[in-house]
Amino acid sequence: MTTHNQNLPRVFFDPSEGPDNFRYALWLPQSLLDLDRIGVELRDGTQIIIYADDGRELQATLEFDRCCDGWTARPVGAEPAKSVARQSEDVGHT
């Protein structure tokens, strides 16, 4: 059951892609298609839902990264992006 606002636009993300430990990259082909479908001018601070192939969904805020010349998503109220991805990869490993 998803508790996110169902009216927010959905944008694909890859949990292993991002410019730092706090944001996910949204310059992947599927992400760019989803961003194009939003139909409004993208701005820093726009609220979205990011979704991954593994079924993960997070509410996030859009941020433009000038160094990478692309949009990123900062999860709202979550641990740093890469630590969340690492934890899910480490499950079952000792």
Q: Where are the alpha helices (DSSP H) in the chain?
A: 29-37, 81-90
**pTM, entire model:** 0.76
User: What is the tens place of the pLDDT at every residue in 18-33?
Assistant: 888 899 999 999 999 9
Q: Is domain 10-90 classified as CATH 2.40.30?
A: no
Q: In residues, how long is the chain?
A: 94
The domain spans of the chain are: 10-90
User: What is the tens place of the pLDDT at every residue in 55-92?
Assistant: 999 999 999 999 999 999 999 986 655 544 444 454 44
Could you tell me which residues come within 8 angstroms of residue 55 by beta carbon, excluding any fewer than 6 positions away?
A: none
